[in-house]
Amino acid sequence: MPRGRPRLYAGPLQPGKRSAVVPRTASKAIKRVYKKYATVPRTRVGVNKTAIVTLSRQVKSLQNAQHGRIQSKIQMWQKPTGARDNWHTINLWKGGPMAFALNDFTQNAQVYQVHMPKSTDTTTDNIYNYANWLPFDGLGNQGNINERGGADKAHSYWKTSQDNLASTENYLPISSTIHFEFNRSMLPAQEVECVRIDIVRPRNTVPMNKFNMLQLPTGLLGMRNLAGKEMLQRNRINRKYFDVVKTKYLYFKPRVTEHNSDDVTIRKQWKWTQNFPKKPIVLDLNANRAEDVHGQGTTTTVTNQDGTTTTTTSYTGVADVQGDKASFADVMQPSKIYWAVLSFSNPSETDNKWNMSMMRTNKWRDNDGTD
């Protein structure tokens, strides 16, 4: 059968024609047909919704502007290698948990560690070590990039970013990103060790007195053995007093070497970002200052022109008792502080093959200046 459309004939062959087939007309492309959809008029609800969203954004922008521009600063901390002021020699072990306030962005922010009496100590007092966070300079903490013409200032990319200081009066914390790093030198035959990191927030505070010492950092003594190896000796966090935001375990497993007698350094890292409620922190640390206490000074009496006398006392040298500013934990409501608690499974108080360091990036708003 013929394929396609049959051919059409016009009848007998006409004079002068060579074929009686009806010629086909070629199809011509036509222009595209565009349909115009009917536009739906905007309803009053849609107009109001758009206006409300725009207004809420403007209000939020104004509220943030009241707290100042966004500022940031990088800080670092490394475990002291020896005894120094406010830090007694202690290893990372189950009896020495550590803690620091995540939303403490002040210049004197500190890391605390419990120093329990060792078996070799002659005193039975419990001591709390503390050491400040240090500013990051990008030069391995070996450079001088301060604003007063540090020798390495011209070669640092951080010279205009690391001069931000959180206000001692009030600031709005935004977030803090912390990098933890632990390293442990281990032999293949040693047991698996563990570091536990808890991000907690106090929820039920008890007045501090000699019967109740449950507020951090003083209450850190009650958080020993959180990473203990034996179940019956392992401590727990009481959810009645703390909301646990996050718990992280880092395990250190020994590696088999060729001779099974070589020390192998195992390194573990962990990163955590903590976002804070959009509520300003009011400190007023400058108003909480202990004055210097001096001993006997030099008295000078001066006779005025009207015959009266003025007596002044001057002091030389260091004060007998140095005044000190209150810390962040001293003036803050405990339930508004976010804490990072670090615990270790190491059972030996003399094991010195552990080391640790931390680095954090803080972001906040205040009106004390920015980059």
Q: Residue 105 class from Cβ within 10 Å (0-12 exposed, 13-18 middle, 19+ buried)?
A: buried
- The reported pTM is 0.73
Of 91, 94, 112, give the one whose Cα is nearest residue 354.
Answer: 91
Q: Please report whether residue 354 resides in a domain.
A: yes
Q: Give the residue with greater pLDDT, 267 vs 89.
A: 267
Per-residue model confidence (pLDDT) at position 22: 59
Looking at the domain assignment, is residue 370 inside a domain?
Answer: no
**Is the residue at 46 inside a domain?**
no
pLDDT number for residue 198: 97
Helix (H, G, I), strand (E, B) or coil at 176: strand
Q: Quick check: 332 and 318 in contact, CB under 8 A?
A: no
For residue 49, is it within any domain?
no
Residue 42 lies in a domain: no
Confidence check: pLDDT of 1 > 70 = no
Mean pLDDT of the region 326-346: 91
Q: Is residue 182 part of a domain?
A: yes
pLDDT digits 0-9 by tens, 55-110: 888 888 777 777 788 899 999 999 887 766 677 778 888 989 999 999 999 988 99
Full DSSP string of 178-197: EEEEEEEEE-TTSPPEEEEE
Domain count, the chain: 1
Residue 209 domain-assigned (yes or no): yes
**2 within domain boundaries:** no
Q: pLDDT at residue 48 above 90?
A: no
- Domain region containing 212: 81-294+321-365
Per-residue pLDDT, averaged over 104-129, amounts to 74
Strands (E), 157-228: 170-186, 193-202
Q: 131-180 pLDDT, tens per residue?
A: 899 888 776 655 555 544 455 666 677 767 777 888 888 899 999 999 99
